[in-house]
Structure 1
Amino acid sequence: MQSPSHPPIGLYVHIPFCASKCAYCDFASYAGREADIPRYVDAVAREIARRGEATGHPPADTIFLGGGTPSLLDETQATRVLDALHEAFPVEPTAEVTCECNPGTLTPRFAHALRAAGVNRISLGAQARQTRLLRLLGRIHDWPQVIASVNMAREAAIDNINLDLMFGLPTQAVADLRETLDAAVALAPTHVSCYGLIVEAQTPIHRRIESGELALPEDDVEREMYELARQTFADRSFEQYEISNFAREGYACRHNIGCWTRVPYLGFGCAAHSFFGECRAMNPPTLDAYLAGEEPKIDRLSKEEARFETMMLGLRMTRGVADEGFTRMHGLSIREAFGDKLEKPLAAGLLEWHEGALRLTRLGMDLQNSVLVDLM
């Protein structure tokens, strides 16, 4: 079954169902449509089988079930999705297999079913310690449920646990974030993702900010929050390996690293993206369009687009983009590909060369978008 010449790829499945829609979310996710889950799981299983055949059954070394809320599936449905992946793609014995779960929906039975189906990593959307901030975000859980979910995962023999946290929230003070960071570290996760809030247009939180009902922290306060997170995790033996991601040694998320370094991956389900054969593909963006069988949109990248994408994604990582790897991938060195475009961000102290790689400086992390504009 396996394509012997293809290196391992990543596999992603999008589960678009939620108990409620978060106030900041503009992802393809749907509350109140649980009745569509059985039909959706059927469609995803068919897509997995079809695309496994079409791509020659390449091996996989990472799997990621994201959402939405994958933990809204029942045990049989989640197992069916994972079994379909294993049947269509040879999954390596050491593969990293992640499932996103929300603390308000995870159960011991579901956690044990995930482990039995091969899941060895859980990502929990914890977000904040304070209940008032969770409600502002539209989250249904509280911090005791985060603690309970971590315990459920460990009792199911899933010890690789990520916690998602957020900062830069309306009404959030630096002291609130400090309390959240301390509470998160006390749970001894192997990995933490700590994101600044991005206010997406047409979301409930965007409307409240636009109306003046809510206000975001000042830029200097948000920078202070980010520095607090970086220092807290450094002091607790977490390595920052990407702008928003921190891991204990050996626990960096392999699936996400693959995406940032342009390792091919296939995405299944509505709104899922794929990168395979130097093509980017996007499945139908809505649940109804996906269930109706609409075809994905496919875009073949030009050489120039591929080179820029390598920098756009790779510069998110603290190690930067290795010139040797860039040259191997594109047939040109970074200097040959970007020439004079490098001068401005290098002179401004936003980029630096380090051990054969081009990487963002600490200042460059704050101004990444400016760097990318210079490289366009």
Structure 2
Amino acid sequence: MASLGDGEHQWLERVKSEGAVPLLDPDNCSNGWASPPGDYFMVRGPEYLTTKTKIPGGEYLLRPLGFDWIKGSTKIAEVLKNRKNRVRKAIDEEFPDGDKPFVWAFNLQLPGKDNYSAVAYFAATEQFPEGSLVDQFLNGDDGFKNSRLKLIANIVKGPWIVRKAVGEQAVCIIGRALACKYCVEENFFEVDVDIGSSMVASAIVHLAFGYISMLTVDLAFLIEGQSESELPERLLGAIRFSDLNPACASLYEPSPYGSTDNLQSSLPTRLWKSIGQGFSQLLHPVPGAQENISTVGAVHDNETSEFKEGSEDTKKCMQNHPMPEISKSVLTPSFPFLIPMNQIILVDSVYVADGVA
């Protein structure tokens, strides 16, 4: 792996600045992106397992490389496998003989007909020691990755309704909440995060998207430390984007070889599949489905300082608007329309069960 060293590289600065969204100062990045200070995020400290004490995140393990705000005719996936991707292309041109820097990409696939993606890129400054937590993560299976990759989200600026929905310094293990597809190659790691795979996350993002030109959002990525030897936690990297304009998203040019995630089924196919799943659940209710309704607000419940089993507002709402038994047994993202209309609220053109969002 090529070392980036401490000096600045022309290609690195070019990649940072060539995206549709410009690189700006963290304190003034309207319609741009930046890398916020690591101390803005709180992570598990060295004695977290006994004291639950968190500490400022400190320096990042990775160097910020770029940010893409893109949209496509289909869901955008495996961007670093695409030789037309601007980051991949810049690295291939700079290092034609191999020994390329190791690049990380976090592709957040937003739900919706326009297939927007927000992609954050980072580069490793040096090779991680064999057996380290990062090394274990890269070489571990999808189950290990799903249980460890953590996201810290913070709404720095935005309307009250969005800040209320997201909360302050919201933390989640991404793979436990959303469908993730990992791609690990010799010179890069990519995770495609399908936000539309969760009805709750999809509703919150749809709500936030309506105010995206008024939002400043910080997103930090890290690998969760679960033992003393893995603490304190270290941030991989973080991105800040502010006041994004949907019209400024660049059109993504897909790879000529295609991607399995881009083969989306047609609307009639998805509709009939949903109907089939719904009737199957009516005849054969999923065990635990009713319990899932009452705990839908619980996320990452082993970290009590960050998550509690639903907010008080959610509990009161569920008490005041009890859902019929049939609705509880079939409430799934694939079959939400069996919920009575008086139990549904409209959130930015997305129907969500009352109390869930």
Which TM-score tier does this pair reach, normalised by the shorter chain?
under 0.3
Greater relative contact order (Cα < 8 A, sep 6+): 2
TM-score normalised by structure 2 residue count: 0.26
Name whichever structure is richer in helix by fraction. 1
